[in-house]
Amino acid sequence: MQYAGNLVVAPDRERAIYTGLRRKAPNNIITPGFIRLEQQLSSGQGQYQFQIGKNVGNPSATEVRLDLNDAFVATKLGIYLLNDDPSLPGHSPLLTFPSPVDFPAEAGNVNPSHLEAFYNGFLRVKVADVVYAEAMATRKFRVVRDQQSAPAVAVGTNWPAAPQKLSETLGFDGLEDLTPQFIFQGQAKNELSLYVPANSTQQVQYVTATTRIKVVWYMEGFLITQGSALGSALQG
């Protein structure tokens, strides 16, 4: 995304993708959209499967999934870490590296440096019979700006000091353009897998703290209403 003062200008790449989709799906509604999928981390686990369908499992309050009848064309992808409080959904920012301020150590359970494994793994994406990514490195999604978190500060006499959690320095930090684009169909078999190096000594999940660490698979692109029925017509 390009910024000109307060004006947001869609780049030519996004416009070209939209124009191409308009030709392939002239009778469908096509709108900008996003997909957000989450998985809670488990120490020692080396593979995470993400469910993209609304009808599968129990999506969290912050997940955005795909309707069975629709299609989604992902033009950008990011892999983020999240320190989530289940009692306060949506209050924590998506982070592009394991900041030790946002992921404080918990003896025997969480070592912030172990979270780097999620930026030393790879992704595999398959929709029906089409493999879009066999081994996409997650390293490309790791971004460290000048400051993404700050030490604890007191905010008032009746409030305890707490870490300041800052979001991405720029709104598109950690988002990578996808070439080719990933095309997901609600009625197809969509396989989204994350593989990370792990063994029995890994410490990536809280036990005594009230928060839980998650990995977030986030995509931006175009939602095609009633587009699942188009099938291979979107591939060309």
- pLDDT values of the chain reduced to their tens digit, one per residue, 236 residues: 444 444 444 568 999 999 999 999 999 999 999 999 999 999 999 999 999 999 898 999 999 999 999 999 999 999 999 999 988 889 888 999 998 888 999 999 999 999 999 999 999 999 999 999 999 999 999 998 765 555 555 555 555 555 555 544 556 789 999 999 999 999 999 999 999 999 999 999 999 989 999 999 999 999 999 999 998 888 86
CA distance 125 to 216: 15
What local confidence, expressed as pLDDT, does residue 8 receive?
42
86-115 exposure pattern, b = at least 16 Cβ within 10 A, e = fewer: eeeeeebebbbbbbebbbeebeeebbbebb
pLDDT on residue 138: 98
Structural domains in the chain (count): 1
> CA torsion sign, 114 to 116 to 118 to 122?
negative
| 178 DSSP β-pair partners | none
Identity at 38, one-letter amino acid code:
E
Domain assignment of residue 236, yes or no = no
- Does residue 221 fall inside a structural domain? yes
Residue 52: per-residue pLDDT:
97
Q: Is the N-terminal amide bond of 180 cis, ω within 30° of 0?
A: yes
Burial class (CB in 10 A: 0-12, 13-18, 19+), 232: exposed
Range of the domain at 90: 2-230
**Cα angle, residue 204 at apex, residues 106 and 189 outer, rounded to 5°:** 155
Cα–Cα distance for residue pair 14/173, rounded to 1 Å? 17
Which pLDDT belongs to residue 173?
86
- Asked whether residue 154 is domain-assigned, the answer is yes
- pLDDT for the residue 108: 95
- Prediction pTM value: 0.87
Task: Report the 10 Å Cβ neighbour count for 34.
Answer: 13
The verdict on residue 235 lying in a domain is no
Residue at 94 is within a domain:
yes
Residue 213 lies in a domain: yes
* DSSP H or E run through 12: helix 12-24
